Amino acid sequence: MKHLVGKKISKKVDFMGDKVEIKKLNVKEVLEIQESIKNIDEDNQVKTLNSIIRIAVVGADQLSDDEIAEFPLEELTTLSAEIVKYSGMAQQEGN
């Protein structure tokens, strides 16, 4: 099992009529995100969204806040929800 430590798992998802690759977040990254959303207000919502996108979308770590702000909010929110679900942070339906 030790040989699997640090292994990255990813998949391609739809984003704005194209495909982007998202990484499955590890426990440390999930805990960081959970900590950042504990006392969230409106100003921090966008910062948290940006953080999730940067951590999980391959290549998004090179985007500035201004560049991320050029995307439609609904598209970013949908992408973030897919990341949360893929990483096991979303509660399963029916549970």
Q: Is residue 93 part of a domain?
A: no
Q: Is residue 1 part of a domain?
A: no
Coil vs helix vs strand at 40:
coil
Q: What is the pTM of this model?
A: 0.82
Residues 47/29, Cβ–Cβ less than 8 Å = no
At 28-82, the pLDDT tens digits run 988 888 877 777 766 678 888 898 999 999 999 999 999 999 999 999 999 999 9
At 16-25, the pLDDT tens digits run 999 999 999 9
Looking at residue 95, its pLDDT comes to: 41
Structural domain total, the chain: 1
Which pLDDT band, with edges at 50, 70 and 90, does 91 fall under? low
Q: Which domain, by its residues, includes 47?
A: 13-86
Q: Is residue 3 part of a domain?
A: no
Q: Is residue 46 part of a domain?
A: yes
Looking at residue 94, its pLDDT comes to: 42
